[in-house]
Structure 1
Amino acid sequence: MILSHLKGLYTHPKQEWHTIEQNHETAHNSLTHILLIALIPAICSYIANTQIGWNPGAGDLLYLTPASALYMSAGMYFGLIAGVFALAYLVYWMAKTFDASPSYTQAFELASYTATPLFMVGFSALYPELWFMMLVGLAGVSYSVYLLYTGVPILMKIPEEKGFIYASSVVTAGLVLLVALMTGSVILWSNGFGPAIQ
């Protein structure tokens, strides 16, 4: 069922990972989950950019034009989904190094559920204050990393010691992906695809 494990991952993550491992979902279910969850930051940032405005720290609030906000939200949406696919591929690719043999669907399942808290951080855009978004973002990143460290040994069926090193490798790869996405954004912005302020 779509979003069926969401509550369990927040209330009792280890038990929920065991449930996920015992009842692996289809690739379609994991894809539907990530397609829905990735809407949260895209929609919330669109609303914040066009209706609420951003406070840069001094001066008036900044608003984007609806067209510009739509392009940026769509780019964010597809970028987040591509990031989850890339992370799942890295989890799948690194598995042999750690004596694990997951299917790509299992790797995608792990990536999509560990990315969920990061995507839920998108709700913080509805209160676009930098300090608030930083606190919520830090909490989301921390919980995503926690889910990754608890989920890898269970889903990959490896000892916790190997799972720790495996998860650390995935976190490092995730940081590289994040830097790549940010670099891509900077390149696009510098080539005329930046936001248009009202």
Structure 2
Amino acid sequence: MDFNRIMTRVQAILKNPKATWPVIAGEPTTVRELYIGYILLLAAISPVAAFLKLSVFGVGVPMMGTYRMGFGAGVGNMLFSYGLSLAAIYLVGMVVNFLAPTFGGEKNDLQALKVVAYSYTAAWVAGAAQILPWIGMLIALAGSIYSIYLLYLGLPVLMKCPSHKAMGYTAVTMVAAMVISFMVSVVVGGLFGGMGMMPGGQMNGPGQGSFDKDSPGGRVEEWTRKMESATREVEQAQQSGDARQQSEAMGKMMATALGNDGQIETLAPERIRAFLPEMLSGYTRSSISAERTAAMGFQISTATASYENGSGNTLDLEITDMGLARGVMAFAGWFGVEQEKTTDTGFEKTYRQGKNFFHEQWDSGSGSGEYGTVAGERFIVKISGPAVDIEVLKEAMKGIDLAALAALKNEGVKK
């Protein structure tokens, strides 16, 4: 990683983008080189700044004082958001490449990733300002706006779209980027009660450095290798002219970008429904439902049930097959995500035991809580409702055959 070269490029793209874009367009590079030599460093600025603001400097809360996120939770959130942003960048690049013909441009997956990565420069650099008081958010906003402008200037040069279509191309790309960011936040927030955060050449050739295989950096390198392989398959499919082959290749690329080795067909409603027992720790099932929904090639299956006891108390059980979104769990594993916080009336924590994640949330004021886990890095299981304490929910979880559910983690996976 050449720090001086990175700083020179940052200054050039920010100060003189019109002259810099043609230089970028003509540079030979690979996905790995883009990540290792540029994206990995700059994408870390905003997560690090957020960590400093939340866990070191703290956030002033009117009439209440300064709030600081726990150090461990802050580090976990920082690393997790960083890992997910690396995937988001690639996904936005895929969108840019996919949209190119629509706006009179030429498809080129590497040029698409380049235009996204270098356009994000302004937003990444401005992200450091969030450690400042109120003006920091204004600076960050200005950086985001300037990144949109950089994208507008870069699309005609790198994707070869007509200049008069660049505005529409930029607008659609930014909408897609916001959708991707929202999807990541929803998926992660749904997993752990609000932890969600906001984006081919040869790999490891002679003389090139690399991270330790099992380190977070090593995992990212392995991910980029798979992305390059999936990209080549898309290129071959496009050359074949076979629409079905092109669709399958694009689907595989999307799966790889989310950390999966293939597309996934989630469990049918009747299959996932079978894991909702009639009795649950002395509670009798009073209602049950299951469904499978799909959009943009993604499937999610959900089964829910309510249980009542003789005292009129109710527990709700929900099992979700995340499908392709299970790859998010891989990112969580790479970066060792954990969280713990306490309040005057309860606590919330997310932790890992072995290969499994667990989430506990309890509010003594309302006498209710939630206990959840992830089986087989694919199935989210949550039990919630009023109880004497969190142990009641943990005991109820024992009534779910988690081992059998985890055994289905590879069912429906299409290599």
TM-score by length of 2: 0.44
Superposition map of 1:48-87 within 5 A? 48-87=53-92
- Any conservation in 1 of the 2:105–2:162 contact (CA below 8 Å)? no
**Aligned partners of 1:158, 1:15: CA distance in 2, in Å?**
17
Which position in structure 1 is the counterpart of 2:25?
Answer: 21
Determine what percentage of the aligned residue pairs are the same residue.
23
8 Å Cα contact 1:69-1:195 kept in structure 2: no
Give 1:189 shift. 4.3
| Pair 1:191–1:165, CA change in 2 (3 A) | closer
SS in 2 for 1:61: strand
Letter in 2 for 1:18: P
Q: Which runs of no fewer than 5 residues in structure 2 stay unpaired?
A: 196-337, 344-415
Q: How many residues align?
A: 196
Deviation sequence 1:36-93 (CA, Å, 0-9, x none): 1111112222222222111133321111111100110011101211111110010111
The aligned residue for residue 173 of structure 1 is 176
Per-residue deviation at 1:133? Answer: 2.9
Residue 39 (structure 1) aligned to one of 31, 35, 44: 44
Aligned to 1:115: 120
Q: 1: distance between equivalents of 2:11 and 2:194?
A: 42
Gaps of 5+ in 1: none
> One-letter code of the match for 2:78?
S
Task: Indicate the larger mover: 38-47 or 6-15.
Answer: 38-47
Q: Structure 1-normalised TM-score?
A: 0.88
Aligned-partner residue type, residue 85 of structure 1: Y
CA-to-aligned-CA distance 1:83-129 (integer Å, 9 cap, x gap) = 111100101111122232232111111111111222223212322x3
Q: Which moved more, 1:179-188 or 1:117-126?
A: 179-188
Larger strand share, 1 or 2: 2
| Residue of 9, 28, 41 corresponding to 1:5 | 9
Instruction: Return closer, same or farther for 1:195/1:96 CA change in 2, 3 Å cut-off.
Output: farther
Root mean square deviation of aligned Cα: 2.2
**Larger gyration radius, structure 1 or structure 2:** 2
Runs of 4 or more above 4 Å deviation: 191-195
Aligned pair partner of 1:135 in 129, 133, 138: 138
